[in-house]
């Protein structure tokens, strides 16, 4: 609806208050309250509210169409025909399907316990239960706990064993006149029973009841809201095409399924499961699928990065090895250059000295032209020639120690003092060359 809609709630409370005086008081109250602001559409919930609206509509709101919700199919069919501006979908139920399903889930059950109250509506339900449960008399023993006080009912339910199954539609009043809402009575029954409890209405879910074939009040409320919107928008009531009865489906409480050990595979696929925590995949299906799709890509990326890291390490190691080899080659090359430099620095002056000595010796051996024997002009040279003529070595080291160059007059080649002649004494030594070098330099000056 595009325009705002105001809602007004009125509770008749017929289960606790009855009688003509009470009804007339409610009629007068509603007539005076909405005299200046009559409703455009009236929605009634339950069979008692529908009966009240049909009986007192002419004196209350004759022009307002009526939409009924939560009215049993049997109540609607009990009336010959509803006015054309009274529309809605009746509420179905299937007690026998719930009991049959309970006995299949508990094949060891031998007792079927049915619980009912003492109010007028409770007596109607009890009569129907006795009629519908008769078909199971050949499978289980049927027991009724009806018209008991709450204390006695709780005691009897606690004494039930594992061979029993309980079914209830709840009750409005117990055996001592204590009033209940059906949901509250179902909660008392489920808390006390030592056997699994099954119910007739979806409002019982969450009280400890396992479940059953039930109409959904949520779905019925949504459908009734669509009808109200259509009527407020100006649609004629007769033009609306509505189903006669709301569908019934199997509703179960997952917590009670686990409590009583019911096999999950035995739950029909079309069943509506309540209070079941979704698995990770059910709750995050899209994210999980995306993650699973990304895992191979991430794995491939990580593998490529590891491979690249391995290649890089190998390249770094090879680079370090090559750098070490180059450094070694540089050191070897440097050592070679140093060795060459040292050899050059050492050998060059020595070679020059040797060449100078040889040149001086040749100069001394030949002498200058026309100068005669240059070696006789120095007293040391004359002594050296005389010593060579006698066969003695000119080596001042050997001469100083009395060694002879060849032969000798001492026994076994010994000198005058009996010392053995050194075999290297007759060979020209560095000292001899040095002596000649000094003579050559002296004469050159």
Is a pLDDT exceeding 80 seen at residue 58?
yes
pLDDT at 390: 52
Other Cβ atoms closer than 10 A to 105: 21
Question: Are 116 and 205 part of one and the same domain?
Answer: yes
Question: Is 84 contained in some domain?
Answer: yes
Question: Is 64 contained in some domain?
Answer: yes
pLDDT cut 90: percent of the chain above it: 46
Q: What is the mean pLDDT of residues 92-106?
A: 93
Q: What is the mean pLDDT of residues 88-99?
A: 90
Question: Is 349 contained in some domain?
Answer: yes
pLDDT at 1: 54
Identify the CATH number of the domain in which residue 185 sits: 3.40.50.2300
Question: Are 253 and 154 part of one and the same domain?
Answer: yes
Q: What is the mean pLDDT of residues 129-146?
A: 94
Question: Is 361 contained in some domain?
Answer: no
CA distance 132 to 170: 16
pLDDT at 27: 93
* Residue where a domain terminates, one of 353, 387, 419: 353
What mean pLDDT, rounded, does the chain reach? Answer: 82
Query: Across 68-72, 100-104, 436-440, which has the greatest mean pLDDT?
Result: 100-104
Question: Is 360 contained in some domain?
Answer: no
Q: What is the mean pLDDT of residues 17-30?
A: 91
Question: Are 51 and 66 part of one and the same domain?
Answer: yes
Question: Are 113 and 195 part of one and the same domain?
Answer: yes
Is a pLDDT exceeding 60 seen at residue 385?
no
Q: What is the mean pLDDT of residues 201-213?
A: 95
Q: Work out how many domains the chain is built from and give that number.
A: 4
Q: Is 403 helix (H, G, I), strand (E, B) or coil?
A: coil
CA distance 131 to 142: 12
* Residue where a domain terminates, one of 353, 388, 419: 353
pLDDT cut 70: percent of the chain above it: 82
* Residue where a domain terminates, one of 329, 353, 377: 353
Is a pLDDT exceeding 70 seen at residue 387?
no
Is a pLDDT exceeding 50 seen at residue 348?
yes
3 state SS for 108-165: CCCEEEEEECCCHHHHHHHHHHHHHHHHHCCCCEEEEEECCCHHHHHHHHHCCCCCEE
Identify the DSSP state of 345.
Answer: H
Q: What is the pLDDT of residues 298-315, one digit of tens each?
A: 888 899 999 999 999 999
pLDDT class of 425 with cuts at 50, 70, 90: very low
CA distance 354 to 368: 21
Q: How far is CA 417 from the centre of its chain?
A: 110
Question: Are 242 and 285 part of one and the same domain?
Answer: no
CB 146 within 8 A of CB 128: no
Question: Are 110 and 200 part of one and the same domain?
Answer: yes
Higher pLDDT, 31 or 397: 31
Q: What is the mean pLDDT of residues 181-196?
A: 95
Question: Are 191 and 72 part of one and the same domain?
Answer: no
Give φ, ψ of 158 to 5 degrees.
Answer: -70, -25
Q: What is the mean pLDDT of residues 339-363?
A: 83
CB 52 within 8 A of CB 13: no
Out of 220-229, 245-254, 307-316, 396-405, least confident range: 396-405
Question: Are 27 and 62 part of one and the same domain?
Answer: yes
pLDDT class of 428 with cuts at 50, 70, 90: very low
Question: Are 148 and 264 part of one and the same domain?
Answer: yes
Q: How far is CA 373 from the centre of its chain?
A: 116
Is a pLDDT exceeding 60 seen at residue 336?
yes
Question: Is 22 contained in some domain?
Answer: yes
Query: Both tokens of residue 138?
Result: 């050949």
Q: How far is CA 65 from the centre of its chain?
A: 57
* Residue range(s) defining the domain that contains residue 304: 278-353
CA distance 117 to 138: 26
With 0-12 / 13-18 / 19 or more C-beta atoms within 10 angstroms meaning exposed / middle / buried, residue 333 is: exposed
Q: What is the mean pLDDT of residues 404-433?
A: 42
Q: What is the mean pLDDT of residues 401-420?
A: 40
Is a pLDDT exceeding 80 seen at residue 173?
yes
Question: Are 263 and 168 part of one and the same domain?
Answer: yes
Is a pLDDT exceeding 70 seen at residue 370?
no
With 0-12 / 13-18 / 19 or more C-beta atoms within 10 angstroms meaning exposed / middle / buried, residue 59 is: exposed
pLDDT class of 434 with cuts at 50, 70, 90: very low
Is a pLDDT exceeding 70 seen at residue 268?
yes
Question: Is 326 contained in some domain?
Answer: yes
Higher pLDDT, 196 or 280: 196
Question: Are 151 and 231 part of one and the same domain?
Answer: no
Question: Are 112 and 255 part of one and the same domain?
Answer: yes
pLDDT class of 40 with cuts at 50, 70, 90: very high
pLDDT class of 289 with cuts at 50, 70, 90: confident
Q: What is the pLDDT of residues 241-260, one digit of tens each?
A: 888 888 899 999 999 999 99
Question: Is 359 contained in some domain?
Answer: no
């Amino acid at each position: 609806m595009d325009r705002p809609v105001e809602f007004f709630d009125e509770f008749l409370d017929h289960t606790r208050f009855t009688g003509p005086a009470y009804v007339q008081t409610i009629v007068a109250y509603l007539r005076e309250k909405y005299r200046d602001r009559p409703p455009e559409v009236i929605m009634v919930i339950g069979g008692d509210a529908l009966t009240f609206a049909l009986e007192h509509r002419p004196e209350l709101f004759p022009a307002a169409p009526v939409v009924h919700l939560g009215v049993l199919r049997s109540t609607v069919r009990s009336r010959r025909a509803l006015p054309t501006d009274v529309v809605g979908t009746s509420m179905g139920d299937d007690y026998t399907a719930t009991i049959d399903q309970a006995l299949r889930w508990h094949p060891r059950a031998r007792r079927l316990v049915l619980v009912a109250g003492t109010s007028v509506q409770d007596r109607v339900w009890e009569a129907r239960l006795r009629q519908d449960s008769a078909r199971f008399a050949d499978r289980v023993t049927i027991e009724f706990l009806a018209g008991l006080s709450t204390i006695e009912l709780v005691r009897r339910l606690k004494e039930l064993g594992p061979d029993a199954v309980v079914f209830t539609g709840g009750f409005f009043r117990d055996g001592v006149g204590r009033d209940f809402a059906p949901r509250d009575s179902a909660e008392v029954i489920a808390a006390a029973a030592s056997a699994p409890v099954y119910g007739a209405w979806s409002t019982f879910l969450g009280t400890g009841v396992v479940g059953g074939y039930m109409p959904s009040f949520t779905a019925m409320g949504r459908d009734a809201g669509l009808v109200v919107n259509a009527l407020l928008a100006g649609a004629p009531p007769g033009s609306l095409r509505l189903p006669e009865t709301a569908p019934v489906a199997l509703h179960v409480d997952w917590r009670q399924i686990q409590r009583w050990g019911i096999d999950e595979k035995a739950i029909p696929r079309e069943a509506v499961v309540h209070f079941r925590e979704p698995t990770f995949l059910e709750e995050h299906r899209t994210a999980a699928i995306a993650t699973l799709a990304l895992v191979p890509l991430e794995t491939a990326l990580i593998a490529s990065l590891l491979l690249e890291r391995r290649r890089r390490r190998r390249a770094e190691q090879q680079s370090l090895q090559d750098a070490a080899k180059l450094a070694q080659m540089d050191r070897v090359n440097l050592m070679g250059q140093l060795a060459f430099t040292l050899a050059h620095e050492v050998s060059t002056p020595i070679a020059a000295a040797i060449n100078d000595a040889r040149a001086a010796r040749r100069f001394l051996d030949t002498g200058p032209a026309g100068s005669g024997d240059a070696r006789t002009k120095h007293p040391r040279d004359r002594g050296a020639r005389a010593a060579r003529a006698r066969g003695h070595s000119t080596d001042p080291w050997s001469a100083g120690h009395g060694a002879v160059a060849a032969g000798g007059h001492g026994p076994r080649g010994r000198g005058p003092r009996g010392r053995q002649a050194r075999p290297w004494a007759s060979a020209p030594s560095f000292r001899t060359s040095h002596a000649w070098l000094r003579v050559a330099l002296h004469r050159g000056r």
